[in-house]
Amino acid sequence: MAQAAVARENAEEATEVALQTRIKAGATLEDISEMTPRYRDVLVATMAIAADLEIMTLPLDFDAIAFAPSINDRIAIASALQDEMGHAQVMFRMLEDFGFDSYHQVFERDPKNFKTFFLLEFGNLSPIDVGLGHLVGDQAGYITTCDLEQNCSFGPYSRSLRKVNFEENFHVKRGEYMIRHYMQQGPEIRKRVQERMDFWFPLGAEWFGATDDVKSRTDQLHYKIRGNSNDQLRQIWLQRLVPFCEQVGLKVPAHFDSEKGIYVLDYQMPILLNLETMKWDFRTVTWPEKLAQWKKGGPLKLPGLSRMQTELWGQDLW
Amino acid sequence: MAVINSIEGLSEADRFLGDELYCIADAKLVLAGWYMMVLQNGRSIADFTSICAMMQGQYGHARALYQHLGRFGVTLEEVEWTRGAKDIRSPKLLDRPPQSWSDFVAAIFMAEQAISTQLSAYRTSLADRTLARLADKILKESRFHLSYSVGWIKALRKDPASTVDEDARRRLVEALDWWGEPDQPDIIFSSGYRDASDSDLRERFLNVVGTTFDVPDGIAGPAKSWRPSIRRTGSPGIPETLFEKIRFKNRELAMP
Amino acid sequence: MMKKVIDRQLELGGDKPEFYEVFARRDSAEPLTHIGSVEAPNEQLAEARAWFVYDHHTWREMCIVPLSAIVTITERDSKSKVKVV
C-alpha cells in the first residue's frame, strides 16, 4: 500500500514537473483539461482574488459618486466604476467555467470570506481620495494586471486582461490629472492632499503583499501565472509614483537609492495602521501581526459588502 | 425659482421652449440620481455595470441640454450650485422613491419612455437644427435604456405573483402628470419647435406604454393647476430628502 | 435591511445562468470578433447588458448569440464551450 502511494506521488510529481517545464518553455494553456490540480488551484485562487478586488470597488466608489462636486465628476467616477464592474463580470464569468457559482459568490457568500485588499477597505472621504485612489490604488492594480496579461500561462485569463488594462490605464491617468490639479489649488487644498497621501501611500506599498523573503505564493511564479515577484512589482509602482509625487510637491516615505539603483521605502515593511487615529505607525512589526490586521480588514469591508447583498427601498432611499 | 425670462429679446415661444428644455434636462438629472441611488440594489454584476452606464448616459444628456440652454441664459453654475430643491423641474413621477426592484423597473420604464417621447418631437425641428441633432443623438443613445427595462419587465412577469403590472399602473398615473390637459394652447408646437403637440405626445406615450403594459381606458387627466414652466401640477420642486441625496457636494474640489 | 434573494429561474433563466456570447467590430476593415459574454434571462436584457458592459469602443457592429446555440468543434470535451475572450 505504502509503495503504491509513493509511486502515485512520484507520478504526480512528474506530471507537475512536466507541466512546469512546458510552461517555462513558453506554452500557453487554453483549457482546464490541460491543468494539473495544483496548477488549477493556484490559478483559481489568483482569479478569485482578482474578482473579489473588482467587486469591492462597488461599495468603495459609491460614496465617491454621491459626493462628487459636479456632473462631470460624477460621470467620471461612475465611468470608472462601470469599468470595474465590467472587469468583475469577466472574472466571475471565467470562474464559472471552473465550477464557481457567481451568484453565490457575489450575493450569498459571507462578506467575511471575500478576499479583498486592505487598500480597498476604507471609505473615501472626499474627491481628493478619489484622485489618490486612482493614482495610488489603480496604479498598483494596473501594475499587477499588466504583469498577468504579459505573463499568465492561462491564455483566456491573459486575454481577458486586455480590456481591463486598456481601461485601468485611463483611471491612473485620471488620478494623475486630478492630483496635479489639486496640487495647484493653493496651500489649504495642497495640505489636504498631503494628509491623505500620508494615509494612502503605505496602503499602496503593501498592495503587493509580503516582501520576497517571506512571500508564500511562489507557485504563481513556477507556473507562470504571473511573471514578477511582489518586490519586483512594488519596485515598478515606486518607479512610477515617487517621481510623480516629487514633481507635484507631495512628500512620500520613499526615495531613489543611487547606490542600489532602485527606489526604496524610508521604513521597513511591515507596519501597522492605527485604526482609531487612521495614522500609520512606522515602527516595523512582524508579518503575522500585519497578516492579522489584513485579515481583520478595514472599516468599509463588511458593511460595504453587506450593503451590496441587501436591498434598500422607499424611505430608506430618500 | 430660476424662470427663464432674464434674457431680453426672447420671444414668448423661445421662453416656453427654454422652460420645456429645462424640464427635460432636469428630468434626466433626477433620473440619473435615481440610477445612482439604486445602483447598489442591482441584482447581478451586469446590473451594476448597466446602471452605472445609464447614470452616465442621463447625466451626459442633461449636461448637453443645459449647455444648449446657454442661449437662454442658463449657466452650469446655476444648474449645479445655486438651485435648491424647489427649483428642480423634474416630473412628479420621480419624486416618490422606488418601493421595490419591480417598482424601480416600472418607474424607469415610464421615465425613459416619457422623456424620449417628448424629445422625439424635436428631432425634425427646422426652427433649431442644433437642438434637432441633439435630440436625435440622445434618442439613439437611450435605446438600450429601454431594452434594459423591457428585459427586466419580461423577466419579472414570469412570476405569477409579480407586482410589476400594478407598479406600472401607479407609475403611469404619476407619469401622465408630465403632460397638461389635452387640447390646451401649445406655443412650442405652433411655433414649429416641436413637430407634435403636447396632447399628441401624451397619446404617443400612452401608445408606446401600451405595447408593454395594459393601459386602462379613461385614465385621469391632470388637475387644472398644471403649469407648463415646470410641467407639473401643484407646487414646484422635488422633495428635500431627494435633493439632498442627489445634489453636488465638495464644490471646491470640482475638476475643470 | 432586506437580503437580496435572487430567483434563479426568473432572473438567470434557469438554475445555471443563460449566457450570450458577444461579437463586435469597430470598423468595416476589422473582422467580427468575439469580445466577451453576458448572462441574462432574455434577449432584451442580454442586448442591453452587452451594450453597457462592452462599451470600451464605439462599435460599428455588435450582435449576441445564445451560448446554447453554439456547436463546438474543437472544444467538444471542454467545460467551456467558448472561452471568455
The CATH number fitting domain C8-69, selected from 1.20.1070, 3.30.70, 3.60.20, 3.10.20:
3.10.20
Number of DSSP helices (H) and strands (E) in chain C, helices first: 1, 4
The mean pLDDT of C63-83, rounded to a whole number, is 90
The band of C15, judged by pLDDT with boundaries at 50, 70 and 90, is: confident
Does C37 touch chain A if contact means CB atoms closer than 8 Å? Answer: yes
Query: Which of the other chains make 3 or more beta carbon contacts under 8 angstroms with chain A?
Result: B, C
Q: Do C55 and B53 touch (CB under 8 A)?
A: yes
DSSP per residue, B210-256: HTTSPPPTTPPPPPTT-BTTTTBSSS-S--HHHHHHHS---GGG---
**Cβ-Cβ contacts under 8 Å, B82 against chain A:** none
Nearest Cα residue in chain A from B64:
A71
Buried b / exposed e across A207-217, counting CB within 10 Å, b at 16+? Answer: bbbbbeeebeb
C-alpha cell at A38: 495544483
H helix or E strand, kind and range, residue C35:
strand C33-39
Instruction: Residue A61: name the closest of A114, A131, A117, A115 by CA.
Output: A131
Q: Out of A31, A98, A310, whose CB is closest to C2?
A: A310
Q: What is the C-alpha separation between A8 and C28, in angstroms, rounded?
A: 56
Q: How far apart are CA B98 and CA A315, in angstroms?
A: 9
pLDDT of residue C80: 84
**Domains of chain B from N-terminus onward:** 13-250 (1.20.1260.10)
Chain B interface includes A314 (CB < 8 A): yes
Q: Would you state the pLDDT for residue A6?
A: 80
CB contact under 8 Å between B144 and C48, yes or no, is: yes
Query: Does the CB of C69 have a partner CB in chain A at under 8 Å?
Result: no
What's residue B2's pLDDT?
Answer: 46
Name the packing angle between helices B164-176 and B198-210 (round to 10°).
180
- Residue A17, all three cell numbers: 514537473
Size of interface A-C (CB pairs under 8 A): 71
Instruction: Quote the minimal CA–CA distance from B249 to chain A in Å.
Output: 5
Residue type, B162: S
Q: Do B43 and C38 touch (CB under 8 A)?
A: no
Contacts of C40 in chain B (CB under 8 A): 46, 151
Residue B172 identity? L
In chain A the domains, ranked by start, together with CATH numbers, are: 19-306 (1.20.1260.10)
- Residue C61: helix, strand or coil by DSSP? strand
* Range list of H helices, A67-154: 71-96, 102-103, 127-132, 139-151
Taking the CA of residue B226 as centre, how many other CA atoms within 13 Å lie in the half-sphere pointing to its CB?
18
Instruction: Give strand ranges (E) for chain B.
Output: none
- Which three three-digit cell numbers place residue A129? 481620495
Task: Let me know: does A155 contact A29? Beta carbons within 8 Å.
Answer: yes
Distance of residue C38 Cα from the nearest chain A Cα, in angstroms: 8
For residue C12, the chain A residue with the least C-alpha distance is A103
- List strands edge to edge, sheet with C61-66: C33-39, C19-25, C61-66
Written as nine digits, the cell of C63 is 450582435
Residue C2, chain B, CB below 8 Å: the answer is no
The predicted structure's pLDDT at residue A42: 95
Q: Which residues contact A309 (CB under 8 A, 6 or more apart)?
A: A106, A107, A108, A111, C3, C4
First-to-final CA distance of chain C = 38
Partners of residue A93 in chain C, C-beta under 8 Å: 19, 36-37, 39, 84
Contact with chain C for residue B155, Cβ under 8 A: yes
Cβ-defined contact of C2 to A309 (cutoff 8 Å): no
pLDDT at C78: 84
Q: Looking at the complex, does the CB of residue A86 fall below 8 Å from at least one CB of chain C?
A: yes
Closest in C78, C80, C84 to A160, CB measured = C84
Nearest to B250 among A69, A79, A86 (CB): A69
B41 and C45 within 8 Å at the Cβ level: the answer is no
- Residues in chain B predicted with pLDDT less than 50, given as ranges, are 1-3, 5
Flag whether residue A128 sits within 8 Å of chain B, measured between CB atoms: yes
pLDDT of residue B1: 43
Residue C8: how many other CB atoms lie within 10 Å:
15
CB contact under 8 A, C53 and A86: yes
What pLDDT is stored for residue B6 in this prediction? 52
Measuring CA to CA, how many Å separate C39 from each of A305, B28, B56, C35, C80? 22, 28, 22, 14, 15
Compute, in degrees rounded to 10, the torsion defined by CA atoms A18, A23, A26, A30: 110
Q: For B46-105, what is each residue's pLDDT tens digit?
A: 999 999 999 999 999 999 999 999 999 999 999 999 999 999 999 999 999 999 999 999
pLDDT tens by residue, chain A, 318 residues: 577 778 888 888 898 889 999 999 999 999 999 999 999 999 999 999 999 999 999 999 999 999 999 999 999 999 999 999 999 999 999 999 999 999 999 999 999 999 999 999 999 999 999 999 999 999 999 999 999 999 999 999 999 999 999 999 999 999 999 999 999 999 999 999 999 999 999 999 999 999 999 876 588 999 999 999 999 999 999 999 999 999 999 999 999 999 999 999 999 999 999 999 999 999 999 999 999 999 999 999 999 999 999 999 999 999
Instruction: Kindly calculate the radius of gyration of chain A based on its CA atoms and give it in whole angstroms.
Output: 21
Q: Would you call C54 and A86 a contact, using CB atoms and an 8 Å cutoff? A: yes
**What is the per-residue pLDDT for A137?**
98
Report the candidate in C67, B219, B101 with the shortest Cα–Cα distance to residue A97: C67
Report the complex ipTM.
Answer: 0.95
Q: Cα distance from B122 to chain A (closest Cα, Å)? A: 24
Residue C59's nearest CA partner among C39, C36, C38 is C36
Q: What is the DSSP letter of A105?
A: I
Task: Indicate yes or no: CB of B60 within 8 angstroms of CB of A75.
Answer: yes
Q: Which of A99, A86, B152 shows the shortest CA–CA distance to C16? A: A99
Per-residue confidence (pLDDT) for residue B10, from 0 to 100: 87
Nearest-angstrom CA–CA distance, C54 and C58: 9
Specify the pLDDT at position B4: 52
Nearest-CB residue to A71 (from B46, B80, B251): B80
Cβ separation C79–A97 shorter than 8 A: yes
Residue window 36-65, chain B: list those with CB within 8 Å of chain C.
41, 43-44, 46-47, 49-50, 52-54
Question: Which amino acid, B128?
Answer: D
CA distance B40 to chain A (A): 5
Interface test with B, best of C45, C56, C58, C64 (most B CBs within 10 A): C45
Residues C61, B66: Cα–Cα separation, whole Å: 31
Read off the C-alpha cell for B216. 386602462
> In this structure, what C-alpha cell is assigned to residue A309?
447583498
From B90's Cα to the closest Cα of chain A, the distance in A is 16
Backbone angles phi, psi at A142, to 5 degrees: -65, -40
CA distance linking residue B41 with residue A311, whole number of Å: 5
